[in-house]
A = this chain, B = another copy of it.
């Protein structure tokens, strides 16, 4: 049975990086007889422009029916001043929530060829390979009550950070599973010295830990984690944390690599009876409206997101590795898009970079 993939190019550079994935899909069909049943849809600003809604019920239904979703990027200054409720970000938050994508996998990986792109010293980041698990459908992002209200003539803005035991348990379990597949070290990040919600977080993580005696579990306060990421990021293997802390720490960790244009992500739901999970893949970088439509964007993060799709949704780890190897070989060959350009390298466009990956695939 053919795998159903929904492509949501979104805004800014989304469409042009997504076209490079289409190329790799075409290559897979032609060379390896692997076919995907691809549908396209709108999300974010593109959907607002068409439907005055950042995520229509129709697109959501397509996403629910797909075996995996690949997203480009959403947002841009064009939609900065529209109401909070229909901003492009709402589309992203809604699709995560409705699809139940509670586990956000954010690898922070330093490619050998790009170690110089980091603002950190080479010895601090060379070989860096962290996996951050961010809880994605709970916490303060979705907690009720929330809003802005006037009480006795004074306005208050408020949000609720809330986690239930089952919510913590399921993300913890994904994290421990991940640690078992990697170096068996897991650091859970909380603020248990201040926030009761994360006192529960720590307690539940401790309990799940007992099911994974081989994993070396540690706990760290979020402020210290931010420091330690800067001081010595290689001390970490897998990290797991709340939605809000994960938002901050995963971006911090991403920037340690110096090459945001290289980083993919996966957002996974719970496994159903057949073991299948709803899943959405997207590059970590944003929509970069300033360079959109100019064939300048780096398509590699999106290609690597597609590789993650092959690995996590379609159990095609070998094909995933093939794409990852092709990307590394292109870098070794000296090709660079503008964002990762280095002295002595060849600066290429989005489409030339995509073509170069196909060439490397042909050689493998």
- On whether the beta carbons of A141 and B194 are closer than 8 Å, the reply is yes
Interface hub of A87, A162, A191, A252 (most chain B Cβ within 10 A): A252
Q: Which residues of chain B are near A162, meaning CB under 8 Å?
A: 156-159
Give the interface SS of chain A, mostly helix, strand, loop or mixed. helix
Residues of A149-182 contacting chain B, CB below 8 A: 154-166
Would you list which residues of chain A between 10 and 50 have a CB under 8 Å from chain B? none
Copies in the complex: 2
Tell me the residues in window 129-153 of chain A with beta carbons closer than 8 Å to chain B beta carbons. 140-141, 143, 146-148
Nearest 4 A/B pairs, CB to CB = A157-B200, A157-B197, A226-B252, A227-B255
Assuming A161-B161, A164-B156, is B198 touching A226 (CB within 8 A)? Answer: no
- Does A51 make an interface contact (CB < 8 A)? no
Known pairs A120-B121, A154-B165; A148 contacts B200 (CB<8 A): yes
* Shortest distance from the beta carbon of A136 to any chain B beta carbon, whole Å: 12
A216 within 8 A of B: no
From residue A89, how far is it (CB to closest CB) to chain B in Å? 5
Q: Kindly state the separation between the CA atoms of A210 and B223 in the bound complex, as whole angstroms.
A: 33
Which residues on B sit within 8 Å (CB–CB) of A249? 226
- Once bound together, how far apart are the Cα atoms of A254 and B254, in whole Å? 19
Q: Which of B124, B193, B201, B222 contacts A157, CB < 8 Å? A: B201
Q: Identify A155's interface contact among B141, B164, B193, B260, CB under 8 A.
A: B164
| CB neighbours of A255 from chain B (8 A) | 226-228, 230-231
Given that A165-B154, A251-B223, A255-B231 are known contacts, is A148 also in contact with B196, CB under 8 Å in the complex?
yes
